[in-house]
């Protein structure tokens, strides 16, 4: 089960890392971000609703579950909003690497609020991965990150960390599909209301844009979040979060391959360090499951 959990965590990270491939062309034509994110989450919610109806799974919920679903939807939507606003100040590769500090936030929350023990290999994994993130943020042997963009993207990391912890600690006795459906539904509701308040038109002007938004929704949302939820159940919040190190790697590959970001020595070294951190996490997790640590 732990191996399956790591595979699912990696799949989730890869799909999530493809976000720049879809969102940057949409931002380039100045289509409203709030409307884009409304459709992203709404289309994904409709797909999962169809699946739940096919499986004849009950959509009923208790009052406590409603509050949890609303919180999940709010934190997931705010994380997305902060990340995409960060793209206005930073390159997609740098923004995605800053987002990766969320494993540190998850680990700190689990340690200080839930008294979860953190092992030495996990600490080493975090340090090496964060060192990779730091190197990715350097240019000409010095840090060169827009402060506003850094703080906004750091907010994305905080909200994403809170989302992960709630999924792990709420212990909802329902399927991952149902959790995902309600998370996406309430995320779409947030952006629908915000679009109305901001008086942004909801019409999609072209079929090409509709296809782009639909693929954006299915690949980076439906596939990614379902894999994420099951990964958390198999290996827990902290290990799933550290596997998210693959997200900035994929985002950088997309930025270099499709949007002209230069592949520098710092980018290469940073990617290698992040991958080393991921491997340490996987190996230590497997040894723990075998009683070797």
CB 129 within 8 A of CB 100: yes
pLDDT of residue 143: 59
Angle among Cα 134, 139, 140 to the nearest 5 degrees reads: 125
* pLDDT tens for the chain, residues 1 to 293: 788 888 998 899 889 888 888 888 898 888 999 999 999 999 999 999 998 999 899 999 999 899 999 999 999 899 999 998 988 888 777 787 778 777 778 777 888 888 777 778 778 878 887 888 777 667 655 656 677 888 899 899 899 889 888 988 887 888 878 888 999 999 999 999 999 999 999 999 999 999 999 999 999 988 888 888 788 888 886 677 777 777 777 887 887 887 777 777 777 887 788 778 777 766 665 554 444 33
Q: Looking at residue 209, what is its pLDDT?
A: 93
Q: Which residues contact 254 (CB under 8 A, 6 or more apart)?
A: 17, 18, 20, 21, 92
Task: Report yes or no on whether pTM surpasses 0.85.
Answer: no
Give exposure, 17-52, as e/b (b: 16+ Cβ within 10 Å).
bbbbbbbbbbeeeebbbbbbbbbbbbbbbebbeebb
d(CA 216, CA 21): 9
pLDDT of residue 42: 96
Q: Which residues pair with 143 in a beta bridge?
A: 138
**Which tokens hold the place of 177?**
């599909």
- Domain limits for position 254: 2-289
Domain count for the chain = 1
Q: What CA–CA distances, in Å, run from 219 to 111, 202, 266, 275, 283?
A: 32, 22, 29, 23, 28
Residue 138 pairs in a beta bridge with 143
How far is the first Cα of the chain from the last one, in angstroms, to the nearest whole number?
A: 18
pLDDT at residue 288 in the model: 46
Answer yes or no: are the C-beta atoms of 278 and 243 closer than 8 Å: yes
pLDDT of residue 291: 40
CA–CA separation, 92 vs 17, rounded Å?
10
SS3 labels along the chain: CHHHHHHHHHHHHHHHHCHHHHHHHHHHCCCCHHHHHHHHHHHHHHHHHHHHHHCCCCCCCCHHHHHHHHHHHHHHHHHHHHHHHHCCCCCHHHHHHHHCCHHHHHHHHHHHHHCCCCCHHHHHHHHHHHHHHHHHCEECCEECCCHHHHHHHHHHHHHHHHHHHHHHHHCCCCCHHHHHHHHHHHHHHHHHHHHHHCCCCCCCCCHHHHHHHHHHHHHHHHHHHHHHHHHHHHHHHHHHHHHCCHHHHHHHHHHHHHHCCCCCHHHHHHHHHHHHHHHHHHHHHHHHHCCCC
Q: What is the four-CA torsion angle of 82, 87, 89, 92, rounded to 10 degrees?
A: 130
């Amino acid at each position: 089960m732990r191996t399956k959990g790591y595979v699912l965590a990696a799949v989730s990270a890869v799909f999530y890392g493809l976000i720049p491939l879809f969102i940057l062309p949409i931002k380039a034509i100045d289509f409203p971000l709030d409307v884009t994110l409304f459709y992203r989450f709404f289309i994904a919610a409709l797909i999962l609703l169809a699946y739940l109806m096919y499986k004849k799974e009950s959509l009923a919920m208790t009052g406590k579950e409603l509050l949890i679903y609303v919180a999940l939807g709010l934190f997931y939507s705010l994380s997305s909003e902060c990340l995409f606003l960060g793209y206005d100040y930073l390159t997609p590769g740098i923004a995605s690497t800053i987002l990766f500090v969320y494993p540190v936030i998850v680990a700190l929350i689990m340690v200080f609020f839930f008294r979860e023990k953190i092992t030495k290999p996990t600490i080493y994994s975090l340090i090496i991965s964060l060192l990779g993130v730091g190197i990715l943020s350097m240019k000409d042997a010095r840090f060169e990150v827009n402060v506003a963009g850094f703080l906004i993207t750091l907010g994305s990391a905080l909200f994403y960390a809170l989302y992960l912890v709630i999924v792990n600690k709420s212990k909802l006795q329902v399927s991952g599909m149902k959790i995902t459906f309600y998370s996406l539904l309430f995320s779409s509701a947030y952006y629908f209301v915000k679009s109305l308040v901001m008086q942004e038109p909801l019409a999609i002007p072209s079929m090409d844009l509709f296809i782009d938004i639909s693929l954006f929704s299915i690949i980076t949302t439906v596939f990614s979040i379902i894999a994420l939820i099951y990964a958390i159940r198999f290996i827990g919040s902290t290990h799933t979060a550290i596997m998210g190190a693959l997200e900035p790697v994929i985002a950088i590959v997309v930025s270099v391959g499709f949007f002209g970001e230069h592949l520098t020595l710092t980018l290469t070294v940073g990617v290698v360090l992040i991958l080393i951190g991921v491997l340490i996490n996987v190996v230590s997790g497997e040894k723990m499951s075998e009683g070797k640590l």
